[in-house]
Structure formats: C-alpha cells, structure tokens
Amino acid sequence: MTVDPVLIEVTRGPLVESRHRGAVALASSSGGLALSLGDVTSPVYPRSAVKALQALPLIETGTADRFGFGPAEIAIACGSHVGSERHTHLAAAMLERADLNPDALGCGAHAPLGAAAARELIAAGQQPTQLHNNCSGKHAGMLATAVHMGEATACYCNVDHPVQQRVHSAMAEISGLPLGADVRGTDGCSVPNWAMPLSAMARMFARLGSGEGMDADRRAALSRILNACWQFPEMVAGKNRADTVVMRALPGKVFMKTGAEGVYCGAFPELGLGFALKIDDGAKRAASGAAMALVERLYPSARGLMPVGGIKTWHGVEVGEVRSSAYFEDALAGLKL
Amino acid sequence: MTVDPVLIEVTRGPLVESRHRGAVALASSSGGLALSLGDVTSPVYPRSAVKALQALPLIETGTADRFGFGPAEIAIACGSHVGSERHTHLAAAMLERADLNPDALGCGAHAPLGAAAARELIAAGQQPTQLHNNCSGKHAGMLATAVHMGEATACYCNVDHPVQQRVHSAMAEISGLPLGADVRGTDGCSVPNWAMPLSAMARMFARLGSGEGMDADRRAALSRILNACWQFPEMVAGKNRADTVVMRALPGKVFMKTGAEGVYCGAFPELGLGFALKIDDGAKRAASGAAMALVERLYPSARGLMPVGGIKTWHGVEVGEVRSSAYFEDALAGLKL
C-alpha cells in the first residue's frame, strides 16, 4: 500500500509537532502530469472546489442571461462565501429575480464562515439562515436554473433532478469519466458530489482554463465563469481569504478554489495547466499552505499575498510555524515547465 | 522511515474521504506496553493533556491548603475549560484568594472554547478576557503557587521561573526523562511544554494512577488531584465534553484529558495502566475518536456516552461517519489485559 508524502509540517520549538500527508497533481489539458506527488489515482471528492463547474448549467441553459445575472452573481455561484451582508444580499437578490424566496434553498443554515460576519449576526441577536450558508450563491444559481427550465424547485438537490443531472453531464464530459454511483457522495449542502482521481481533476481544471476539447459555446461559458471570478473575487470567498486575495492580484493567471476536507483545485490558463490536491486528513491549514506553495512556485509575485503560517501564543508570540516539508519544497523546486 | 497506521477514517457515501494516522501507547507503571501502535518512541508534546501533572506543585507546595482550594479549584487547575461563567468565576475567585487580579494572568485571551459561552459573550457585547482562556484555571493555580512561595508573579510563565521549574522537576521525576531544551516548546498559553515518547507518556499516566515509585506525599497529592477531577469533572472541560462526560460516569476508573494538536492521555488506575496517543496531523476529531475507542474497549459501559461521529449535511442528514479503522479495531479487539 502506497503512503502519501508529508507535504506540510507544523513545528513548535525545536520539533515538528504535526504532519500533513497528501497528494498533488499538476496536469495539462491532455492529462500529461507536470507534477505528481502521492496517490493521484484513487477517487477524491472535490467538494466545493468544483463550484465553477457546477455553475456551467447556469450559463449554458441561458439562465444567467434570462435573469440578468452579471459577473458578481456568476462569481458568487462559484463561491464559498464568508456570509457577510454583501454575500447574503446578492444571493437573496438572485432568488428574487427568479421569483423565489430564501426558503426555497436546500443548502441548510450554518453560521457564517467569516468570523466577523458570525460575530455580527450573534451581536444582532439573529440566527444564521440558509443565505449565510457558504454555498447559498451556488444554490441560488441552481434554483434559478430550475425555474428557467420550468422544472420543480422542491427537490433540486436530489441526484436525479435535472439540475444535478446537468451538473453531472458537464463534469463527466470535461473529466472524461463516467462518474457513477460508486464515486458519488453527498456534500454538506445536500447536493451530490462525484469523486475522481486527482490526476483527472487536475486535467479537468487545465481544461477549464484552456477550453480544450470543447465546443465554442462551452468555451465561452467557461471563459465567462472564470472572468466573473477574476472580476469579483470577493464573491468567491471574502476578505483576507486566499482565493479572493490571489485572484484579485493575479486575474487571468491564477484561478483557485478551496474545497472541504483538505481539497484545493485551480487553473493556470497562461501555462496550460490545472492542479488538484488533497490533504489525506482533510486539514484546511495544510491544503491552503500546499496550494499557496504551488501558486507561489508558478507565480513568484504571489509571495507575501497571504500571511505566512505562524503558530503563536495567545499573546501573539511566534513559537512555531506551518511550513512546506523539505520533500515538497524539493519537488516544487525541481518542477520543469 | 516508519509510517504511523491509519487509526481513524472519515467516510462520505461509498468512499473513505479522509484518513488520520497516529500512534498509541498503553503502558503499565513499569513501562510494559500492553498496546503499542505506530511510532511511540519519538518525542511528542503532551500539551494540555498533562495539566494534572502541571498542577502537582499547587498541592505539594501547600498552596492549595494555604488558599483553601478545594476539589473544584484543583479540578479547574487541571482543566481545559469551555469558558462558561462558572469557569471564569472560579478562576477569578482563585486569583482573588491569592490577592491577585485577572491582569496577573499570562495565558492570553481567546474566545471561549464552548460555542454557547462564546455566543453569550458576543451577545453581551463583551470581549473575551484571559479568564476565558481554557487554561485560566491552570494559570490561576500557578500564580497562587508563586504568591505562596513568595516569588515574583510577573514572569511566572518563563521556563527559568521557579513555578515552571517545579513543574519540570515533577514531570522529569515521574517520566524518568531529563526533559531538556531539545524537547522544549512553548504552549499556546505561553508556558513551557516538554515532549516525550508516547511510551514514556503512557507510563507516566500509569504512574499518575498507581503512584508507583513515589513517596507518600506525592502519592497523596496525585490522589487528591485525580479525585478532584472525578468529583468536579465539569471543571476539567465542560458540558457535553468527553473528559467531563466520561469521568462523571466512571469516577475512579477512567481519568482522561485532551491536549491540543491531536493528543490524548489518561489513566485506568484499576487496571494499572496509562495511555497516550497522538494523531500525526493534530486533528481533534480523530484524537477524541481514538481515545473513546480505547476507553470503550476497556470499559464497555462507556459506549453511548458520547455521540458517535456522524458526518451530516446542514439539514442533519447523515452522509458519512468518523470511525475507527479496521486496523485499529482489530488491534483493540486483540488487546489482552
């Protein structure tokens, strides 16, 4: 049995206190692997990292045009937002344009991902609603698609609903995989999520950037989605979040999206590459650290955009750090493009 | 290089989504290992799992008697509490008896660990204070010790302060290890923390329960500490927390204490055993799962005390689970006592 390498380690004083193993694939649109670390062949759920692909039917069915969704609306449909007022208002406005109210959402309620938004909600004596769910933009887009297509809105999260079947078709076509029930799980927001090897996921993201092997309509739809995220990166995540900060600084060059349980995916259109990585244990700190290390390797100007991972006391004194392992650093340094 | 086994896995639909590797030692007071999984020889920071040992000087110096600290105060000195009012009030009362105010604390402030306590604080428009720090009871005890001994209170967190040197001596004596600067890190609450092999840590906890190799005074002090935790388990953690729930149900039989970065330690005095485990990646969900699996193996009546780890959608539908790996289950099943 193969064991994934340690990608990220967490130090305290003179010792490494914790270690995160994982796998990384960096691929071209044809599937050639520029980098392959660990097990890139076993199926991994991409979770929220594929929201840009889950948003394809929103464009391809004509739903976005029908309801006048511009780049901000398209970006939030691809986002895992922090639940601030600008996010919840935009998701609510999308639903309103489709003549729906927030009760139609199937994503469920959770406290805003953003600490500031979560605090504000409690201070105001309010409970989180489904609009605060980080996926509410995606779900508003899915619901609008159902309305536009004249489909029932009640069970749009179910795998056999046309809304999810369209997502499945798009993902299966672009990944080139059957994506059967054997790799199907249910995401935290109640919609299906299909697992695939990291190698195929990276190739799918390379294609997201290149449009390779797709007809003109799909290329245009993907281009519209990526440009929306680069134009409104704050709708993809929020203040001080890596996806927002990096895409604002490097529009056209880096598309990146986090997923739950230690997943990160992205595209580098200028380089003709896509990446997908998974931390075995699902830790966000390690997935973010590994994704930033990769982005910084390909675009050195990304260095310094996100704070380096210091491990601090509650008085703010640094007593350790979150860093790439020597193995991962060597692999990145040896990367030939 | 040896690789720790997967102890806990997290499923979603038909697949294992995430895996937590780790090491476990179950030892007698003499150091004989009843169970040894993974690397139990490399140094691991015990973090908050050793608060009961860090509290030894509070008893042995006569500080607890001097200030009239009963079992509740001793229990919170051993605790990582959730920051509810009963916890902050007790820590404040301890400081008051030593004629100190909360500003003397060196642990730093953080939002209460308990979600309810954190919410209440925000709703009341208040900022977290050092009293809300989960370690405030430990620090109140350390400060009281300095006062009782006539030592400066300003720098009691420093490694060369007598308060920390007494902790070091007790830990070195009971573990039988030198605990030098090569294994010394700084905990999040600013006090030193010494790493040791899990095998030695488990043996130390066996001795905590048995008192083996100690003089009568130390045995009495340890007994007083354990009994305090069993009498006031809510002071060791809080409502619905494993340490509180299990120790309330199994006083005299199970002492257990969580630590940051995936550490768990405990003692089974009736069985003459102690345990120490570390999840490589530092995940709390895995450390708790592994500790509960071990406790339930030794005391089947602990089953059902803590909710089984379901992975749910935001609507509460179970779509996966956190479970022991087959390897870990087999190892526990094969355990001979």
Domain residue extents for chain A = 6-66+159-319
pLDDT level of residue A1 (50, 70, 90 thresholds): low
Q: Quick check: A267 pLDDT over 90?
A: yes
Tokens of B77: 């000195």
User: Would you call A17 and B185 a contact, using CB atoms and an 8 Å cutoff?
Assistant: yes
Tokens of A132: 């605060």
- DSSP letter at A62 equals S
Q: How far does Cα A59 stand from its chain's mean position?
A: 18
User: Would you call B14 and A183 a contact, using CB atoms and an 8 Å cutoff?
Assistant: yes
* Residue numbers in A near B182 (CB within 8 A): 14
The burial class, CB within 10 Å (0-12 / 13-18 / 19+), for B328 is: buried
User: Would you call A187 and B313 a contact, using CB atoms and an 8 Å cutoff?
Assistant: yes
Q: Within 13 Å of residue B301, how many CA atoms lie on the same side as its CB?
A: 9
- DSSP letter at B281 equals T
Q: How far does Cα B323 stand from its chain's mean position?
A: 22
Which residue of B lies nearest to A44 if distances are taken between CA atoms? B17
User: Would you call A17 and B119 a contact, using CB atoms and an 8 Å cutoff?
Assistant: no
Question: What are the tens digits of pLDDT across the range A278-300?
Answer: 999 999 999 999 999 999 999 99
Q: How far apart are CA A242 and CA A267, in angstroms?
A: 15
pLDDT, position B307: 85
Which residue of A lies nearest to B9 if distances are taken between CA atoms? A281
Q: Mean pLDDT, to the nearest integer, of A207-229?
A: 97
User: Would you call A190 and B43 a contact, using CB atoms and an 8 Å cutoff?
Assistant: no
Q: Say if residues A289 and A11 touch (Cβ distance below 8 Å).
A: no
Q: Give the helix, strand, coil percentages of chain B, each rounded to 5.
A: 45, 20, 35
* Residue numbers in B near A282 (CB within 8 A): 10, 17-18, 283
Q: How far apart are CA B84 and CA B105, in angstroms?
A: 18
Which of A125, A185, A317 lies nearest to residue B320, judging by beta carbons?
A185
Which of B186, B261, B319 lies nearest to residue A13, judging by beta carbons?
B186
Q: Mean pLDDT, to the nearest integer, of A135-160?
A: 98
Question: What are the tens digits of pLDDT across the range A106-145?
Answer: 999 999 999 999 999 999 999 999 999 999 999 999 999 9
For B64-115, list the strands marked E by DSSP.
Answer: none
- Residue among A172, A170, A192, A95 at smallest CA distance from A139: A95
User: Would you call B13 and A186 a contact, using CB atoms and an 8 Å cutoff?
Assistant: yes
- Residue among A46, A82, A76, A45 at smallest CA distance from A58: A76
Tokens of A166: 């369209």
Q: Mean pLDDT, to the nearest integer, of A24-47?
A: 98
* Residues near B184 by beta carbon (within 8 Å), at least 6 away in sequence: A13, A14, B159, B192, B193, B194, B195
* Residue numbers in B near A189 (CB within 8 A): 313-314
pLDDT, position A266: 98
Q: How far apart are CA A332 and CA B10, in angstroms?
A: 29
pLDDT, position B18: 98
b/e map of B142-165 (b: 16 or more CB within 10 Å)?
bbbbbbbeeeebeebbeeebbbbe
Q: Residue type at B219?
A: R
Q: Quick check: A193 pLDDT over 70?
A: yes
Which of A17, A314, A316 lies nearest to residue B261, judging by beta carbons?
A17
Q: How far apart are CA A155 and CA A158, in angstroms?
A: 6
Average pLDDT, chain A: 97
Tokens of B112: 């209460």
Q: Quick check: A263 pLDDT over 80?
A: yes
User: Would you call B317 and A10 a contact, using CB atoms and an 8 Å cutoff?
Assistant: no
- Residue among B257, B255, B276, B277 at smallest CA distance from B267: B255
- Residue among B139, B130, B93 at smallest CA distance from B112: B130
Question: What are the tens digits of pLDDT across the range A246-256?
Answer: 999 999 999 99
A and B: number of Cβ contacts within 8 A:
143
Tokens of A101: 């109210």
- Would strands A255-259 and B6-12 be described as parallel, antiparallel, or unpaired? unpaired
Give just the sign of the alpha carbon dihedral A104, A193, B17, B326. Answer: positive
- What region, left, alpha or beta, does residue B90 occupy, with left being phi > 0 and alpha being psi -120 to 50 degrees? alpha
Q: Say if residues A327 and A38 touch (Cβ distance below 8 Å).
A: no
Q: Say if residues B324 and B309 touch (Cβ distance below 8 Å).
A: no
Superfamily (CATH) of domain B6-66+159-319: DD-peptidase/beta-lactamase superfamily (3.40.710.10)
Q: Residue type at A180?
A: G
* Residue numbers in A near B107 (CB within 8 A): 314
pLDDT, position B1: 61
- Classify the complex by whether its ipTM is higher than 0.90, answering yes or no: yes
Segment (H or E) for A307: none
* Residue numbers in A near B116 (CB within 8 A): none
Which of A13, A14, A281 lies nearest to residue B19, judging by beta carbons?
A281
Q: Quick check: A177 pLDDT over 80?
A: yes
Residues in chain B predicted with pLDDT less than 50, given as ranges, are none
